[in-house]
Structure 1
Amino acid sequence: MINNINNANAFIVGSSQGIGLGFVRKLLQYDNFAKIYATYRSHESASELIALASQHPDQLVCLPLDITKESQISQCIECIEKSVDKLHLVINCVGLLHENPLQPEKSLRQINADNLMRYFQVNSIGAVLLAKHLLPLFRHSDRSIFASISAKIGSIGDNRLGGWYGYRASKAALNMFMRTVAIEYGRKSPQTVVVTLHPGTTDTRLSQPFQKNVPAEKLFSVEQTVAQLLAVIEKLDEDDSGQFFSWDGSSLPW
Structure 2
Amino acid sequence: MSFIDEITNVNSLIVGASQGIGLGFVKKLLIDDRIAKIYATYRQKNTAEELLSLVNKYSDKLICLAMDISDESQIVEAVQQIQTEVNKLHLAINCVGLLHEGNLQPEKSLRQLNSENLLRYFQINSIGAVLLAKHLLPLFRHGERSVFATISAKLGSIGDNQLGGWYGYRASKAALNMFMRTAAIEYGRSCPKTLVVTLHPGTTDTQLSRPFQRNVPAEKLFSVERTVTQLLNVIEQLQEGDSGQFFSWDGNRLPW
TM-score, normalized by the shorter chain, greater than 0.5: yes
2:124 aligned partner: 122
Amino acid at match of 1:18: G
2:241 aligned partner: 239
> How much has 1:53 moved relative to structure 2?
1.1
2:154 aligned partner: 152
1:142 aligned partner: 144
> How much has 1:173 moved relative to structure 2?
0.2
> How much has 1:229 moved relative to structure 2?
0.2
2:217 aligned partner: 215
> Contact 1:157 / 1:253 at 8 angstroms: preserved in 2?
yes
1:224 aligned partner: 226
Which whole-Å CA distance do the structure 2 matches of 1:96 and 1:189 have between them? 29
TM-score (norm 2): 0.99
Q: 5 Å matches for 1:59-98?
A: 59-98=61-100
* Pair 1:163 & 2:165 matched: yes
Which whole-Å CA distance do the structure 1 matches of 2:117 and 2:71 have between them? 17
Q: Which runs of 5+ in 2 are unaligned?
A: none
> Contact 1:149 / 1:198 at 8 angstroms: preserved in 2?
yes
Number of equivalences: 254
Amino acid at match of 1:214: V
2:19 aligned partner: 17
Amino acid at match of 1:25: K
Amino acid at match of 1:189: C
> Contact 1:89 / 1:145 at 8 angstroms: preserved in 2?
yes
Aligned-residue RMSD, C-alpha: 0.5
Which whole-Å CA distance do the structure 2 matches of 1:85 and 1:54 have between them? 25
Residue of structure 1 aligned with 2:207, choices 205, 216, 221: 205
Q: State the secondary structure of the residue aligned to 2:241.
A: helix
Which whole-Å CA distance do the structure 2 matches of 1:207 and 1:79 have between them? 32
Residue of structure 1 aligned with 2:33, choices 31, 34, 49: 31
Which whole-Å CA distance do the structure 2 matches of 1:75 and 1:103 have between them? 31
> Contact 1:7 / 1:34 at 8 angstroms: preserved in 2?
yes
Amino acid at match of 2:150: S
Which whole-Å CA distance do the structure 2 matches of 1:106 and 1:251 have between them? 27
> How much has 1:95 moved relative to structure 2?
0.2
Amino acid at match of 2:70: T
Which whole-Å CA distance do the structure 2 matches of 1:239 and 1:41 have between them? 34
Residue of structure 2 aligned with 1:46, choices 45, 48, 52: 48
Which whole-Å CA distance do the structure 1 matches of 2:112 and 2:54 have between them? 41
> How much has 1:170 moved relative to structure 2?
0.2
After superposing on structure 2, the runs of 4+ consecutive aligned residues of structure 1 that deviate more than 6 Å are none
> How much has 1:4 moved relative to structure 2?
3.0
Q: State the secondary structure of the residue aligned to 2:232.
A: helix
